[in-house]
Amino acid sequence: MTAPHASPRAGLGLRRALIPQLLAMDAGAVDFLECAPDNWIGVGGRNGAALARLAARFPLSGHGLSLSLGGTAPLDLELLRRTRGFLDRFDVALYSEHLSYCSDDGHLYDLLPIPFTEEAVRHVAARIRQAQDALGRRIAVENVSYYAAPHQALAEVDFLLAVLAEADCDLLLDLNNLYVNAHNHGYDARAFLARLPAARIASMHIAGHYDDEGGLKIDTHGAPVRDDVWALLAEAYARFGVRPTLLERDFGFPPLPELLAEVGRIRSLQTVAARAAARPVERTEPAHV
């Protein structure tokens, strides 16, 4: 089941380095926390207790790292079973995974792109359907950043749309990944947005990236969100309506108030978009002769 689309929600990634600060947050500082179940299943002791305390105060969403939906090895059914237990235990309404692969006779610790072909559409869609059956819920797949482009018989957006339709799953729309890919691979991010089906978009991510000296943009999750990505988020809200949106930060953590200021900016954009959507459309009456 996907999370409700109507109420504005802004969240922050739950990272172990942030736990002391997150535990000290005021109620309402964020609307939800997102964690990777893969990193928390079976964790006890101090960290397990901290997770339970945070889950009691803030709703959790789940974002998987290890299913390797585009891989060729059989899906890890034990991981799926344990993930379902985690999601049920913490009443997680929204679970997502990456539209990529990350294993080949072992975990590769990277999210690698899938060839954009009809065969790959059928392959990954079947694995998504299998994962949804095992988890007992719809999932959202995330558009990932990529730098080397394997065989592309389809444009990225056409591949994504075909997977969503064939798998009957939802989309986690990552605006930073879209911005980075559009720059690196020479396409129009706004034209990409215009092709997406609003009904499939369950949630959104934003993050910071790094510009290298050669002009490549690298998705790092280690910097503040750039103005162009904020603008793309505002356009996504105007086009699709407000969705639960997560600020991702994986390293180079600033003091928590700086992260919460970015969460506050998400909330402000959501408020503006919600007000605009609720505003009655002005009608021009024909002149009477």
Domain boundaries, the chain: 32-277
What is the pLDDT at residue 213? 87
Could you report the per-residue pLDDT of 128-168, keeping only the tens digit for each? 999 999 999 999 999 999 887 777 899 999 999 999 999 99
- Does 28 have pLDDT greater than 60? yes
Could you report the per-residue pLDDT of 195-221, keeping only the tens digit for each? 999 999 999 999 999 989 888 998 998
Q: Which of 100, 37, 29, 30 shows the shortest CA–CA distance to 64?
A: 37
What is the pLDDT at residue 246? 98
Taking the whole predicted model, whether its pTM rises above 0.85 is answered as: yes
User: Would you state the structure tokens that stand for residue 5, as one six-digit string?
Assistant: 């689309």
Could you report the per-residue pLDDT of 173-192, keeping only the tens digit for each? 999 999 999 999 999 999 99
Sign, Cα dihedral of 236, 201, 177, 25: positive
What is the pLDDT at residue 197? 98
- Does 106 have pLDDT greater than 70? no
> Exposed (0-12), middle (13-18) or buried (19+): which is 287, by Cβ within 10 Å?
exposed
State the Cα angle at 187 between 8 and 127, rounded to 5°.
65
Compute the average pLDDT of residues 119-126: 97
- Does 108 have pLDDT greater than 50? no
Pairing of strands 245-247, 10-13: parallel
What is the pLDDT at residue 262? 98
Instruction: Count Cβ atoms below 10 Å from residue 49 Cβ, excluding itself.
Output: 11
Task: Write down the CATH superfamily of domain 32-277.
Answer: Divalent-metal-dependent TIM barrel enzymes (3.20.20.150)
Which helix (H) or strand (E) segment is 172 a member of? strand 170-174
Residue 230 CB contacts under 8 Å (≥ 6 apart), including other chains = 206, 265, 269
Could you report the per-residue pLDDT of 243-256, keeping only the tens digit for each? 999 999 999 999 99
